[in-house]
Chains A and B, each alone.
Chain A
Amino acid sequence: MDKQYWQSLEDYRETKTKSDFSKKAEPEFSIEGLDESEIKAKSSRRDFLKMLGFSVSAVALVSSCQMPVRKAIPLLNQPEELTPGVANYFASTFFDGTDYCSILVKTRENRPIKIEGNDMSKLTKGGTSSRVQASVLNLYDDARLKGPMKSGNATDWETADKEVIEKLTVLADEGKKVVLLTSTIISPSTTALIEEFTLANPNVEWVMYDAMSMSAIRNANDLNFGRPVIPSYSFDKAKVIVGFNADYLGNWLMPVTFSKQYSSSRKISGKNPKMSRSYQFESLMSLTGSNADYRFGIKPSEEAIVLLNLYNKIAESTGMSVYNAPKSPVDVTDVATDLLKNKGKSLVVSGTNELNIQLIVNAINNALGNYGTTLNISLPVNLKQGNEKAMEALVKDMNAGKVDGILIQNVNPAYDYSNASDFKTGLAKVDTKVSFADTMDETAQLCDYVLPDHNYLESWNDAEPIRGSYSIMQPTIRPIFNTRQFQDTMLKWMGNDGDFSDYMENNWKTMLADSTNFESDWNNIKHDGVYHAKVESDELSNFSAQSLKARTSKNVDIELVPYEKIGMGIGKYSNNPWLQEMPDPITTTTWDNYLAISPAYADDNNLKLEDIVEVNGIEMPVLVQPGQPVGTASVAVGYGRTSAGKAGDGRGFNAFGFKFGESITINKIAGKTYPLAMTQMHHDMEERPIVRETTFDQFKKDPKSGNELHTYDEKHNVTLYNKIKYDGLHWGMSIDLTSCTGCANCVIACQAENNVPVIGKEQVKNRRIMHWMRIDRYYSKDEANPEVFHMPVMCQHCDNAPCENVCPVAATNHSTEGLNQMAYNRCIGTRYCMNNCPYKVRRFNWFEFVNNNNFDYNMNSELGKLVLNPDVTVRQRGVVEKCSMCVQRIQEGKLTAKMQDRELREGDIKMACEQSCPTDAITFGNLLDENSAIKEDQDNPRMYHLLESLHTLPSTSYLTRVRNNES
């Protein structure tokens, strides 16, 4: 090395460290422990070939293991009615003990995948509810019992039958009391069977139980007419409807039927403008209240007072006896005048289960002469036969040790009875406890034997929801598990070896005694699914007036109103993730219940959304609900299940312990919050022309009223580009905002049809809900009693779609039939289209929602995946999806027409959301067809496009919201 000169000390040190770097020669690898041959060995040609063979086969083996082997076993003999790829529809009936609906079940390759409305029913007329739509998923619920159970262990039917029969025989011999506790049963055949059973076993007492009872109506009618019945209601015949805490569009009695009736009386057109008017007095913001023309918030304790005042006003002018009433908190003069103007064409209903109130309601309806027109006592409704008095007596008896056997069918009182702990202690004292529950629910867990019933889609049954209107339930799939229909079990225990379908047929033989050709009649009934018998309205005894009274309202802090949520009801479907994730039409909350308080109360007590309060020892989150009357709070039942299954357990809290109108104190728990997953956080329309509205009076003067902007926008929408020309087909949709009640049936129908994944509370909270169809809900005016607007929004299929021209890979594009379509395979997930969609209807697969344990819902279960529609792709993580305007249905309709060698006709194709809409708010069709209903809607002066000023040229249009009020 050259001699180093250095100038500074730093320089010197620098060079020093450099030179200090000493290189030591080290062997490249250690050869210790290897013998010489190994070090020197070269691999021979044989070795090479061996290695090659091994590595190639190893690679092949490893890589082939990546793909899971899926076996598809073809049918050895193809069933006659089954064509792979072609759907079969079976008419059937949905009845779960509370709700009734006539349905069509769509099956593909012998498995039910979708529920549709049965338009041959004169009651539901092709409508369904969200619960009905979601019920198909219950068939594929992992929580279902796979076979009979004895004390929590699996057993077989022979053993179970033998043992139960033995025990029942002993009890019968000893004359000990056995109770058959069922839900309301509306099946004439099952009723006959149970009656036969109780006749054969006189020690058996039959008790029907409803978690939310309506016995007061029956009792009131017993007093007034001598008949303990619920009358059938005709909302369509009423010009003025006054509801008191009766959510007849959401939960009350027959919401699907009532929605159909209600909306049919409010379909308006320019030619024949007629519209009923609805008043709603309620103690919470209900779906019905949100749609009412006039809504009044009252406390539960004020209901009787308001009603009696209303009665007095009517009685004064009809010359009936007037009763003393405290002063009404609401001026009812206008309501009374309106009712009096429409005598015989009005309807007053109350959902409160109090005899006193129902007597006043009956008196008002009687004074108005509504019996025989809008109410019919002689065509009673068979729903809600449960009587809380009988249930109270049963619990008392059980606790007193007077009941030695209990058979529990389709009810879950250990969860939903108002005094569940009493029921449970009583049940513990019963010797023989048999449940027919199809899941290990709270009550079944306490039973010795659980003999699981079929799902309703696996069962034979019939139903008579209203006297003379029948509906048939028939199996659409062979039983998936080793379950047995409750009725078959009954027959077996009675020593009858036949099955229930024969029993039912025999029963129908007697019912159709005058039929000349029973075989064909019976087949027709099964085919149609419904049968409307000619029923004579029998003579009604005179109205026997009862004395009416109303106590002065309580002066308490807060009166509590327990209610059923539109999706969850009484919690029977708690384990149904579709319903859990369905945004509540009013609050848009998913997965939870909460205490809804009035904005005024929230301000006074410094409470806000997601704060936690304690009421009667239960901690619950708070939701500030506009329209919640001051002095009240409401809470949804149906939550807080402990034994529902993985989706339902631990959601919310159980509110069945609360009584209607119960006074409570709300204690804030400082510093604690609980997240609530809502799909909408901003509730004001910001004065934008989103939902365009008018009043009926203005509409009559000018059908364009409220929609003036449409003309302006049409005129000012200028473009340099040519309009797209369509050849023959241009699909379009129209949504009548006046009809739509926001019930969310379409949301679930769309989810079932289009394999929309469930993403769980946390992701909903992150605002990532996957629903292709959402219902926006806006409030306007006063926060104490706002006007509410529901607006279904899905892809608008714009002809000038902002999403289409920004996709870099052309994954979203326009079809020749006007559809904005998504090619999932092409999508790389830049999400530009989502940003550029002004309607924000595009959904991104943020995660893999299929076969992912983090999203342990139906798409993560082999069983749950059977509900998937084989016509619709299941989307991968990272792609954007949205409403396809049920393109698979369009294709199917076109193919059917082609096979039949005819032109496509109006009504051949129905969208999933449209088909089962209980208010017929949605119309779909070919915009180029001059005679179509959709074309008619296009030319309707009420028609407008959402955000039409953006010139997106949507194929979906809206009709203005018309309210029949004065403001």
Chain B
Amino acid sequence: MYNTRVRGVLIKGNKSLKDVTQDVLRPMDAPMPRWWYVTAFLAISAMIWGVWGFYNTISTGIGTWGLNNNVAWGWAIINFVWWIGIGHAGTAFSIFLLILRQKWRTSINRAAEAMTIFAVMAAGLFPLIHMGRIWDGFFIFPYWNTRGPLWDNFNSPLFWDVVAISTYLTASFLFWYLGMIPDFATIRETTASKIKKKIYGVMSFGWLGNARSWLRFETAALLLGGLAAPLVVSVHSIVSMDFAVSVIPGWHTTIFPPYFVIGAIFSGFGMVLTLMIVLRKLYKFNDYVTDGHLEAIARILTFISLIMGSAYLIELFTAWYSGNEYELFTFLKNRVTGEYTFAYWSMLTCNAIIPQLFWFKKIRKNITMVFIISLFINIGMWFERYVIVVTSLSRDFLPATWATYEPTITEVAVFAGTIGLFVMGVISFFRWIPTIAISEVKSVLKETTTLKSFTDED
């Protein structure tokens, strides 16, 4: 099935099954290196600053942000959408690549899924903190009550958001956790520490590793995977409807759901690339996350970047073709030219132009370049959300109401806090959870590792 001559070697170094276990688990037993402490310190500092941001917002009011009567959404929503987008990588990886029979996903999917969980957690904080009366936030759940009964407005995309995101988070978490059960059992079996044995024993749900377990495990994984696949599409479609359902020029577009999903996968893959380059450098996982892996992601990004570019062009075309003066103004006079030129062109350059450099093999093979471009994608996707949220609101229908928006220190703190949460989550994951799905790598080890022919590249 898998032809290494065509597809290349996935796991290098002629590993044995035992090597895989040892290699992956080694960082978990080793004393935490200095970079871990430095990163943890920075992440926790950012989180503390974020807690201050939360405290300031909740105790004083949303007025501590830079929003105003006309631009009522700002960084909170930009960052929410940005995180949700990043949160697409894991599930997209696991599900779509599973469906497409991309075996190379096995070394990456665990980390990507972990990223999803922490990114969605970080994203989930924004709708909370962004509420004017967070203490009444439970109103958004359709619970039986004595107030009439008073139900939610099922027409509102914000309510759809609540449903979509909580479902996505739950499904992603279960899928991720399920995949880890055999690995936890491996740790349980290999660890010397009694406490660890106990903890991982509980976490592995008493995994036995017999044929029945594997059978059940694989069925469950398949089922969950099947259930989660539509969620990848639905969650960001629904987030896009926060905008698409409105009447605001630049928001009111039917292209938004596919455009947002593609954008989300784009940013998610971009973030996976960033993260994997760091991970394999720090843990010397070059044998598992090979240059071939990174190149595969880069190729996907090139393709998605083309879709992004065409989406941007279609948006412009639709604005022009609609003949709607407000739409035209937003796109041509407020984005392409005008006050928000910088943000618009940053978005376009980072998302549609820079990733095209991946066409060149030299660049694709140059890990430093790949890393830098992946950062550009992250930034570009942030700008995309900025362009959508701010440019449309700040200059909409009545020029008398036009207002500009600038974030305040509190909003920056909240964002930094979520970055801190994400980083802390990721490095805790590095520390306490096998970063590469041991069982899955093992399953593809034989057929993808050695070249069976006479060529001896290795």
Task: List residues of A whose CB falls within 8 A of some B CB.
Answer: 14, 17-18, 680-688, 690, 763, 766-769, 774, 776-778, 791, 793, 802, 805-810, 826-832, 834-836, 838-840, 842-848, 876-880, 946-947, 950, 952
Contact = CB atoms under 8 A, between A and B. Distances in A.
- For the side of the interface on B, what is the size category? 35 or more
Nearest to B73: A835
Contacts, number: 174
Contacts of B136: 828
Nearest to A837: B247
Interface in B260-312: none
A688 B247 contact: no
Contacts of B17: none
A808 B142 CA distance: 10
Nearest to B63: A846
B246 A831 contact: no
Interface string B1-35: 00000000000000000000000000000110000
B72 interface: yes
Given A806-B245, A831-B130, A846-B61, 4 more contacts: A686-B329, A690-B399, A830-B158, A834-B69
A838 B397 contact: yes
B393 interface: yes
Given A806-B245, A809-B140, A836-B246, A846 B398 contact: no
A838 B130 contact: no
Nearest to A812: B153
Given A681-B402, A806-B157, A807-B156, A947 B397 contact: yes
Contacts of A839: 397-398, 401
Given A830-B158, A831-B72, A844-B69, A685 B150 contact: no
Contact of B31 (A17, A686, A828): A17
Contacts of B325: 687-688
A12 to B, nearest CB: 13
B273 to A, nearest CB: 30
Contacts of B139: 809, 826, 828
B398 A831 contact: no
Contacts of A684: 399
Contact of B158 (A18, A776, A806): A806
Contact of A766 (B60, B68, B152, B158): B68
The B interface is mostly helix, strand or loop, or mixed, namely loop
A609 to B, nearest CB: 14
Nearest to A776: B400
Contacts of A950: 247, 397
A877 B132 contact: yes
A827 B69 contact: no
Contact of A680 (B127, B132, B400): B400
B248 A876 contact: no
Interface of B: 30-31, 60-63, 66-70, 72-73, 127, 130-134, 136-137, 139-140, 150-153, 155-159, 162, 242, 245-248, 325-326, 329, 393, 395-404
A682 B400 contact: yes
A879 B31 CA distance: 51
A831 B73 contact: yes
Given A840-B69, A843-B69, A809 B153 contact: yes
B152 A810 contact: yes
B367 to A, nearest CB: 25
Nearest to A685: B399
Contacts of B68: 766-768
A778 B399 contact: yes
- When A and B form their complex, which 8 residue pairs have the shortest distance between CB atoms, in order from nearest? A829-B132, A878-B132, A846-B63, A776-B400, A767-B68, A831-B72, A808-B158, A878-B133
A14 B29 CA distance: 10
A686 B72 contact: no
A834 to B, nearest CB: 4
Given A777-B400, A778-B400, A846-B63, A808 B152 contact: yes
Contacts of B159: 808
24 contacts: A681-B403, A681-B404, A685-B399, A688-B397, A690-B399, A767-B69, A777-B400, A806-B245, A807-B153, A808-B158, A826-B139, A826-B150, A829-B62, A829-B133, A832-B73, A838-B248, A839-B398, A840-B69, A840-B396, A844-B69, A846-B61, A846-B67, A847-B61, A880-B132
A684 B392 CA distance: 18
A685 to B, nearest CB: 6
A244 B145 CA distance: 66
A848 B158 CA distance: 25
Given A763-B63, A838-B398, A808 B162 contact: yes
B72 A834 contact: yes
Contacts of A768: 63, 68-69
